[in-house]
């Protein structure tokens, strides 16, 4: 069973809208939470990552929010663009150099122009 | 800069045949990973190496799967004999110890077993 539960499975958003993807985990030993972006026919690529000592991290239009007490974290894509259409995976591991990442099931985001 | 290079990109084979997938990691990276991606199970870590030594192979589904890393610039994942349920996209990824923890994935090898 997956150690990181991700929702929704897919979402459609209009250009300029906000995409929100949620993830939840059970293992309190997890200490590193990256998000990977995957375009069709390509491998996943790191988008942004967060440690639990901060509640939010922003890089451009992408923001991770982290709620340690609820064991949840989410990805917000602001001002969504057609080029953001991809599958997004949340993941978790014991530390940034613990390479046993547990991936969520993925969310396919479609941005309509 | 060359990224992680995988071959073949596509492989179609018949049940019972041997399949060998190949990977060249990014030069200088000391970790190498093999992942499998399917619709049903998502991204699964099969095995990973550090400095060419297998560290954790607990994700390898069964004895039909084997992986080797004879040197720092080459790794193989072999399936013998292959079965239809092995059909998936197999990704190789590499990383550099002490860096950000980022995994650099190849473009994958799509395997279809008939």
Using the Cβ of B18 and the Cβ atoms of chain A, whether some distance falls under 8 Å is answered with no
Lowest mean pLDDT among A77-91, B59-73, B94-108: B94-108
Q: What would the pLDDT profile of A70-103 be if each residue is shown by its tens digit?
A: 999 999 999 999 999 999 999 998 876 777 889 9
Q: What would the pLDDT profile of B37-51 be if each residue is shown by its tens digit?
A: 999 889 999 999 999
Percent of chain A scoring above 90 in pLDDT: 82
Average pLDDT, chain B: 94
Q: From the CB of residue B23, how many other CB atoms can be counted at a distance below 10 Å?
A: 25
The model's confidence at residue B55, banded by pLDDT at 50, 70 and 90, is very high
Q: From the CB of residue A106, how many other CB atoms can be counted at a distance below 10 Å?
A: 22
Taking CA atoms, what residue in B is nearest to A106? B42
Question: Are B11 and B20 spatial neighbours (Cβ–Cβ below 8 Å)?
Answer: no
Using the Cβ of A2 and the Cβ atoms of chain B, whether some distance falls under 8 Å is answered with yes
Using the Cβ of A50 and the Cβ atoms of chain B, whether some distance falls under 8 Å is answered with no
The mean pLDDT of A17-40, rounded to a whole number, is 95
The mean pLDDT of B11-31, rounded to a whole number, is 97
CB contacts < 8 A, A to B, total: 54
Average pLDDT, chain A: 93
Q: How far is A6 from chain B (nearest CA, A)?
A: 11
Position B99 pLDDT exceeds 70: no
Q: Which of A4, A99, A102 to mutate to test the interface with B (most CBs of B within 10 A)?
A: A99
The DSSP line for B71-110 is ETTEEEEEESS--GGG-EEEEEEEE-TTS----EE---EE
Q: In what order do the strands lie in the sheet with A19-25?
A: A4-7, A19-25, A72-77, A62-67, A56-59
Taking CA atoms, what residue in B is nearest to A48? B102
The model's confidence at residue B2, banded by pLDDT at 50, 70 and 90, is confident
- A contacts of B102 (beta carbons < 8 Å): 34, 46, 49
Cβ of A100 within 8 Å of Cβ of B31? The answer is no
* DSSP-derived pairing of the beta strands A107-112 and A10-14: parallel
pLDDT reported for residue B32? 96
pLDDT reported for residue A67? 93
DSSP A70: T
The model's confidence at residue A1, banded by pLDDT at 50, 70 and 90, is low
Cβ of A99 within 8 Å of Cβ of B101? The answer is yes
Cβ of B43 within 8 Å of Cβ of A103? The answer is yes
B91: Cβ–Cβ under 8 A, 6 or more apart, which residues?
A43, A44, B6, B33, B34, B35, B36, B37, B43, B105, B106, B108, B109
The mean pLDDT of A27-36, rounded to a whole number, is 92
């Amino acid at each position: 069973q997956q150690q990181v539960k991700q929702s929704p499975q897919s979402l459609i958003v209009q250009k300029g809208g906000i995409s929100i993807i949620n993830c939840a985990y059970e293992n309190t030993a997890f200490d590193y939470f990256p998000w990977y972006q995957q375009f069709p026919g390509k491998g996943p690529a790191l988008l942004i990552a967060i440690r639990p000592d901060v509640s939010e991290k922003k890089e451009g239009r992408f923001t991770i929010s982290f709620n340690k007490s609820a064991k949840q974290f989410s990805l917000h894509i602001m001002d969504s663009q057609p080029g953001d259409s991809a599958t997004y995976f949340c993941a978790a591991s014991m530390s940034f150099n613990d390479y046993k990442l547990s991936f969520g099931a993925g969310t396919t985001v479609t941005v309509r122009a | 800069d060359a990224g992680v290079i995988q071959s073949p990109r596509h492989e179609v084979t018949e049940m019972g045949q041997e399949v060998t997938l190949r990977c060249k990691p990014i030069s200088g990276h000391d970790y190498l990973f093999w992942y499998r991606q399917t619709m049903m199970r998502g991204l699964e870590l099969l095995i990973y190496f550090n400095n060419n030594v297998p560290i954790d192979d607990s994700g390898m589904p069964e004895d039909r799967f084997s992986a080797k890393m004879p040197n720092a610039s080459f790794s193989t994942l072999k399936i013998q004999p292959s079965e239809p349920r092995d059909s998936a996209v197999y990704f190789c990824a590499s990383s550099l110890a002490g860096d950000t923890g980022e995994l650099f994935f190849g473009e994958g090898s799509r395997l279809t077993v008939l």
